[in-house]
Amino acid sequence: MLSQESRQKMDLTNGKKRPWYTDRITEYEQHDHKVKRWITIKKNNIQQLAIAELFSFGRCLIIDDDIQSCESDEYIYHEALVHPAMISHGSPSNVLILGGGEGATLREALKYKTVSKATMVDIDDTVIKICRKYMPSMSNGAFEDPRTELVIQDAKQFVSDTREHFDVIISDLSSPVKGGPAYQLYTKEFYRTLKTKLSHHGIFSAQVDSCSPISIRVPVSIYKTLRMVFSEVQLYTCYIPSFDSLWGFILATDDVKNLKINRKEIDRRLSTVVSGNTLFYDGQTHEGMFALPRDIRNRLNKRTRVISIKNPLFIYK
């Protein structure tokens, strides 16, 4: 079902008449984008989808009236999400991606020569279809790669049912919105189940929403919740222009040695185990993303809620 939050926004079915698209950052803040043209608009029983071409950022995927990724800067988000976990592991073979309908997360994971299988689980095949048709550069052939296994299923159910173990699990899910499909995948119950699906040296990577001062409670709460499950959790950030925000990502593992990696070793691994180039990520970028500013470090040290099924967390609330 469409979330109550998305129903309260302007209906995208009228999008072809809208010269401006408004991306709501919080209930008190929004970012307006001049639209060159609306390319496609879809609505199903799961969510509301659109692809628009913006003057500033090119073609972009919009889900429930929120920008998911834009052609001009998606490489920043997807490289930041994928490479720290993959490069820290060193030799990931079996990778699981939760969400990621554009195929760009899959694209980055498949750059690793060590990967023999990458399973991508998405709840809505419509997202995949329209992105493959209208934004093929996002996946860049990843869906046709013989190492790819595409599963159309609820990620929570897949993780619960699978008997496989994964070297890296990457969560590229939409943010936790009340009534939406993803909020239960940000709880300690889900993280405990997910941990049992990681291999002995496995690493979990996730996007955790905006780290701006007015939104920091979301990534901090996710960080605290993961600390209840994993022995080592690290928050890191980078600025995503089309999101107009400093964005948060997290690594979680029980193998602390995995995350003790320096700039020189990162660049060595990139040159030996990765096919093709990275536009954003390298050893120097890695160190910068993990060098958190003082205000965020202070927030991580304060008490906050632990997210659970009975005590869920929602953005904008």
* Catalytically annotated residues: 172
**What span, in angstroms and rounded, lies between the C-alpha atoms of 58 and 51?**
10
Q: How many CB atoms lie within 10 A of CB 45?
A: 7
Structure tokens at 82: 């994928």
CA torsion, ordered 192, 193, 199, 200, to nearest 10 deg: 30
* Distance of alpha carbon 102 from the chain centroid: 11
Q: Considering all CA atoms of the chain, what is the largest pairwise distance in Å, rounded to the nearest integer?
A: 54
Phi and psi at residue 91, to the nearest 5°: -145, 60
- Residues 240, 73 contacting (CB under 8 angstroms): yes
Q: In terms of C-beta density within 10 A (0-12 exposed, 13-18 middle, 19 or more buried), how is residue 280 classed?
A: middle
